[in-house]
Amino acid sequence: MAEDAQVVITTEGLTRSFGDNVAVDRLTISIRAGEVFGFLGHNGAGKTTTVRMLNGVIAPTGGGARIFGLDPQTDGARIRARTGVLTETPALDNRLTARATLEYFSDVYGVPRSLRRQRVAELLERFELTKRADDKVGGFSKGMRQRLAIARTLVNDPDIIFLDEPTSGLDPVATREVHRLIERLSHRGRTVFLCTHNLAEAERLCDRVAVLARGRVLATGTTRELAAELNRGHRISVEVDTDATERALALFTALPQVSSAAVVGDRAAARNGGTLLLLNGVARPDVPPVIAAAAAAGLNVYRVEPVDSSLEDVYFALQGQ
Amino acid sequence: MNWRAIWAIASKDVSVALRTRAVMLPLLIVPLVLMVGIPSVVGLISGMANQMAAAESQMADLTRAMPPEFASRYAGLNDVQAGLVYFLVYLFAPMYLVLPLMASAVVAADSFAGEKERKTLEALVYTPTTDRELLLAKVLGALIPGAMVGLGGFVVYTIVANLVALNVVGMLILPNTLWLLLAFFVGPAAAAFGLGVTVIASSRVNSFQEAYQIGSLVVLPIVLLVVGQAMGAFLLSNWLVLLLGIVLWAADAVVFFIASASFRRTALMARI
Ligand SMILES: Nc1ncnc2c1ncn2[C@@H]1O[C@H](COP(=O)(O)OP(=O)(O)O)[C@@H](O)[C@H]1O
Ligand SMILES: [Mg+2]
């Protein structure tokens, strides 16, 4: 991703309230062409409302946005011609066949007539729907419906693809397919706006993420940047005897090198009568004195490991703020 | 205007609605009952009465007022025959308007409220159509079947009424100016009216059934017309039908003004 890559989405204080409920609260983000941008948040965080505002299908109550330099409120149709949106529910008409669905949306999106047949056939093939192409959508499994909905999202070969929780409710195989698709879209230079509450998914696929809670962005950046921002880069886990847990916690927290300590669940430790403790703020040079202090106090230490900060840690730390 | 998109949406709405039982049943049953069932039954009864009647009392003896063109055109008919012609040509005429009204209302209910109910609206609002194009597409998708059912009903009724009249009176009675006005001028206006009211209702309710029920309420004024005429409050004449058409088209203009104001995707989505 080049530093000077074109910015395709910017928002400035973008806000939407429903009565007293502020669904999206002063959102300011900027997304470059070709990025896979993760929009991470629990249910009700404001992800769907944001996608709607960016595509001009719901009006903001404050602030504004530009997509391809256009204002969604006045140029919504021109923006939507170049975006594809996978909605949270597949929004498919059960009475149409898979092929008819794609042909219908090709027409509505203005796919050139000469290309339509081929484009539809390609999409059916790519999403493994060719065999069922002339069956009514009503009889499709959840995974097939999702594949068809994604295929529909791509009929106009969009520059920006919005995916609103594309893997929620899918089995692992279907999930992996969706992940591969996102990777392929990214390789082909498409911009992907991925709404998800799945941290592993965001961590695996996204160049950058914004963590959203109750309509507000808590942090934006790469996973690593977010971890650094929280200063939670240095952590170790330590396994001690379970019946010494309290004493160990008291001892470690009292040490100047340790900012905080907590018990984490760990089956392997539990099977051996041990408990895993997480010690925060312990940089590499701090490890020997910390272990020495434990040994001097008569604690049995069975294993010591550095712990990488994951997006998940960042997420929960931010949500807890 | 993005006509390709408009046509794609409208024709998909029509073809899908015609494959939906909740839509197809009223589209078949109502015309059958109104345009075939009722005139046939009335024709049968009149036929029997005609045979029993002395067939002597002449038109001139009728105490009931008849439309002006009636007396000259149907001079020489006996009481039963005149009564039948009067029923088939005049009394029943307002009933015909139920067809285009109901047909466009039921298809509109399916394509507006039904779209919300099936949650397919969300995919549609993300397409590169403007609000106006979307509304136009949806309106066409309901107006076309509404007008078709109206015209089809007219053709069927002309055949049935003529068969009945041929049998009892010995003459063809339709089409006449009044019915041509009804079918080609007032009928489409009625279709547009049923549609417009349903569009407005659809933006406020969330199911096909609710929207259809509200849309069907517009049939009530028609019942009023039928009853009013039967009670002798007024007589349908060509002029009155023309006036009715003009009033309906004017009402359409108002209804569509309201509908286009309420049909904004941003407003629809804010309610989902
Ligand atoms: N049309 C609406 N009317 C009223 N409240 C809404 C509407 N859409 C969303 N909300 C509220 O806005 C908040 C954010 O919702 P949403 O954007 O759907 O979150 P997410 O997609 O992250 O789950 C929620 O509290 C939700 O209840
Ligand atoms: Mg959502």
In b/e form, how buried is each residue of A160-170, taking b as 16+ CB within 10 angstroms? Answer: bbbbbbbbeeb
CB atoms within 10 A of CB B177: 12
| CB within 8 Å: A105 and B5 | no
Q: What is residue B169's DSSP assignment?
A: T
Whole-number Å distance between alpha carbons of B160 and A97: 39
Residue B238 touches partner A, C-beta closer than 8 Å: no
- Interval between CA A184 and ligand 2 midpoint (Å): 24
Which parts of A16-156 fold into alpha helices (H)? 47-54, 72-80, 98-108, 113-126, 142-153
Per CB-CB distance under 8 Å, the chain B contacts of A107 are 4-5, 7-8
| Of B100, B137, B98, the residue nearest B115 (C-alpha) | B137
Q: What is the pLDDT of residue B58?
A: 47
Q: How far is the CA of B105 from the centre of ligand 2 (A)?
A: 33
Q: What SS3 state is found at B216?
A: helix
Mutate to test the interface with A, among B16, B126, B132 (most CBs of A within 10 A): B126
CA distance to partner chain B, nearest, from residue A260 (Å):
45
Residues of A in contact with B2 (CB under 8 A): 110
- CA-based nearest distance A63→chain B, Å: 16
| Residue ranges in chain B assigned as alpha helix (H) | 3-17, 21-31, 38-52, 68-73, 79-85, 93-96, 98-111, 113-117, 121-125, 131-168, 177-181, 187-202, 208-216, 220-230, 238-262, 265-270
Q: For residue A21, count CB atoms less than 10 angstroms from its CB and return exposed for 0-12, middle for 13-18, buried for 19 or more.
A: exposed
Do B128 and A77 make contact, defined as CB atoms within 8 angstroms? yes
Q: Is pLDDT of A231 > 60?
A: no
| Residue A98 · residue A135 · CB < 8 Å | yes
Least confident of A123-132, B143-152, B210-219: B210-219
**CB-based burial, A30-40: b 16+ in 10 Å, e otherwise:** ebbbbbbbbbb
Confidence of residue A2 (pLDDT cuts 50, 70, 90): very low
d(CA A41, CA A210): 9
pLDDT value of position B18? 85
pLDDT at residue A5 in the model: 66
Cα Dmax for chain B: 72
Cite the beta strand spans of chain A per DSSP E. 7-18, 21-27, 30-32, 36-40, 62-67, 83-86, 160-164, 191-196, 208-213, 216-221, 235-241, 260-264, 274-280, 301-306
Give me the DSSP letters along B67-88.
-HHHHHHTTT-BHHHHHHHIII
CB of B22 within 8 Å of a chain A CB? The answer is: no
* A309 Cβ below 6 A of ligand 1: no
Whether the predicted pLDDT of A34 surpasses 60: yes
Is residue A232 over pLDDT 60?
A: no
| Residue at B201: amino acid letter | A
Q: Phi, psi (5° rounding) for residue B53?
A: -65, 150
C-alpha dihedral sign at A92, A96, A97, A103: negative
DSSP characters over B100-133? HHHHHHHHHHHHTHHHHHTT-HHHHHTSS--HHH
Query: pLDDT tens digits, residue range B79-117?
Result: 778 888 888 888 888 889 999 988 988 888 888 888 888
Cis ω for the linkage preceding B175 (within 30 of 0): yes
Residue B151 has pLDDT above 70, yes or no: yes
**What pLDDT does residue A23 have?**
94
Chain A CB contacts of B266 below 8 Å = 56-59
Residue B9 at interface with chain A, using a CB cutoff of 8 Å = yes
Pair B99, B30: CB distance under 8 Å: yes
Give the integer Cα–Cα distance in Å for B106 and B264. Answer: 21
What's the pLDDT score for residue A229?
64
Quote the CA–CA distance of A201 and A38 in Å, as a whole number.
9
Q: A59 and B266 in contact by Cβ < 8 A?
A: yes
Nearest-angstrom CA–CA distance, B176 and B25: 30
Q: Are strands A30-32 and A7-18 parallel, antiparallel or unpaired?
A: antiparallel
Does the pLDDT value for residue B183 go beyond 90?
yes
Q: Do B130 and A57 touch (CB under 8 A)?
A: no
Who's near B31: CB < 8 A, 6+ residues apart? Answer: B99, B149, B152, B153, B156
Summarised one tens digit per residue, pLDDT across range A291-312 is 999 999 999 999 998 776 666 6
B20 close contact with A: CB closer than 8 A: yes
In 3D, which of A107, A91, A194 has the Cα closest to residue A148?
A: A91
* Phi-psi region at A7: left, alpha or beta (left = phi > 0; alpha = psi -120 to 50): beta
Alpha carbon distance A266, B61 (integer Å): 105
**3-class secondary structure, A71:** coil
Residues 6+ apart with CB under 8 A from B18: B24, B27, B145
End-to-end, the C-alpha distance of chain B in Å comes to 27
Q: What is the pLDDT of residue B48?
A: 82
CB B31 within 8 A of CB B149: yes
Six-digit token string for A204: 């695996």
Residue A63, φ and ψ in degrees, nearest 5: 70, -165
Query: ipTM of this complex > 0.90?
Result: no
Give the number of the atom of ligand 1 that is nearest the alpha carbon of residue B272. Answer: 1
Q: CB under 8 Å to B143, separation ≥6 — which residues? A: B104, B188, B191, B192, B195
Q: State the average pLDDT for chain B.
A: 85
Residue pointed to by tokens 């060719």: A130
Report whether pLDDT(B196) > 90.
no
* pLDDT tens-digit map of A181-200: 999 999 999 999 999 988 88
Predicted model pTM: 0.81
Query: Which of A57, A58, A113, A150 to probe the B interface (max B CBs under 10 A)?
Result: A57
Contact: B128, A58; criterion CB under 8 Å? no
**Closest CB from A77, A92, A93 relative to B129:** A77
Other beta carbons within 10 angstroms of residue A74's beta carbon come to: 10
Ion ligand 2 — residues with CB < 5 Å: A 47-48, 88
Q: What percent of chain B shows pLDDT beyond 70?
A: 93
How many CB atoms neighbour CB B118 within 10 A? 15
Tell me how far apart the alpha carbons of residues A113 and A116 are, in angstroms, rounded to a whole number: 5
Would you say residue A1 has pLDDT above 50? no
B85 CA distance to ligand 2 middle (Å): 63
Sign of CA dihedral A121, A126, A132, A135: negative
Helix (H) or strand (E) holding A178: helix A172-187
Nearest ligand 1 atom to the CA of A16 is 12
Residue owning the nearest CA to atom 4 of ligand 1: A18
Check if A223 has its Cβ closer than 6 Å to any atom of ligand 1: no
* Burial grade of B254 (CB within 10 A; 0-12, 13-18, 19 or more): exposed
Range with the poorest average pLDDT among A97-106, B51-60, B132-141, B257-266: B51-60
Structural domains of chain A, ranges and CATH numbers in brackets: 7-228 (3.40.50.300), 232-308 (3.30.70.260)
Residue with tokens 């991925």: A194
pLDDT(B63) > 50: no
Provide the percentage of residues in chain B whose pLDDT is more than 90: 27
